[in-house]
């Protein structure tokens, strides 16, 4: 099966999601492509778009630091953990194969955003506009921070999805809370470790890096714990609505295999 990106997001999401009754991957019919009538789930599209939106939003607002009870952390803390919650929902309901494609879709959308922001930054501006410095200050990215962000995102999200999928098999689908919290603990830990290390190694003292890693790690995991009841509501609703509860027993977990 050949992977092609459709020309619009709904068809792209339809391709990612559409499966046959046995859970095997399917392809949109030519009739659907021609008429524009899509048989994919509206709720799947919501989950995928919310996952991507929370990721992009987190990267935009991460430049601001906030002080919460003496803990200095990026403002992205208010939205970034949401991507893990929706990532858990994707893996739990639709399986690792689908989650893997949405993770890469999120990466692509984030890359497009970064490139667009950078192009806008370097384009000439009129003499009367005095916002260039503020624009660069808030939206400007250094290559090191971008590399750190992209690597940490991919490693963390794939680790999160992998752990949840494997634990679902081990627990035979029981105790959802153990899977969501454990997978987030691993994924967010890896994300925090890689991002802080790559972005700030040699820039801040080692103890400061350790404190930043542990603070972000535990705060993001606590976010998942608090929202566990909401995750249960979403998962239970989607499983009933979609009539789908995928177990990745024969799945290849290579994150770079987009078509499996």
Least confident of 13-22, 121-130, 202-211: 13-22
* pLDDT confidence tier of residue 28, bands split at 50, 70 and 90: very low
Q: What is the band of 245 on the pLDDT scale with cuts at 50, 70, 90?
A: very high
The two tokens of residue 94 are 């639709």
Of the pLDDT bands very low, low, confident and very high (cuts 50, 70, 90), residue 131 is very high
Where do the domains of the chain lie? 41-242
pLDDT value at 204 more than 60: yes
Per-residue pLDDT band at 13 (split at 50, 70, 90): low
């Amino acid at each position: 099966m050949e992977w092609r990106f459709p020309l619009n997001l709904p068809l792209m999401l339809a391709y990612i999601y559409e499966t046959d009754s046995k859970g095997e991957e399917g392809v949109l019919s030519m009739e659907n492509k021609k008429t524009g009538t899509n048989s994919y789930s509206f709720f799947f599209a919501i989950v995928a778009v919310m996952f991507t939106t929370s990721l992009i939003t987190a990267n935009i607002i991460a430049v601001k630091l906030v002080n919460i009870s003496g803990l200095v952390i990026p403002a992205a803390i208010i939205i970034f953990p949401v991507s893990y919650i929706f990532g858990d929902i994707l893996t739990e309901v639709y399986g690792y194969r689908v989650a893997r494609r949405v993770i890469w879709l999120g990466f692509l959308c984030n890359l497009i955003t970064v490139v667009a922001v950078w192009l806008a930054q370097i384009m000439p501006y009129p003499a009367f506009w005095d916002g260039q410095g503020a624009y660069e200050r808030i939206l400007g990215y250094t290559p090191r921070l971008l590399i750190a962000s992209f690597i940490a995102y991919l490693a963390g999200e794939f680790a999160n999805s992998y752990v949840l999928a494997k634990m679902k098999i081990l627990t035979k689908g029981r105790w959802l809370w153990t899977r969501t919290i454990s997978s987030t603990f691993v994924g967010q830990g890896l994300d925090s470790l890689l991002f802080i290390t790559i972005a700030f190694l040699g820039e801040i003292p080692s103890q400061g890096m350790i404190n930043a890693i542990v603070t972000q790690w535990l705060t993001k995991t606590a976010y998942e714990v608090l929202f566990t009841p909401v995750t249960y509501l979403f998962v239970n609703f989607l499983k009933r609505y979609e009539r789908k509860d995928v177990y990745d027993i024969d799945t290849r977990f290579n994150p770079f295999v987009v078509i499996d």
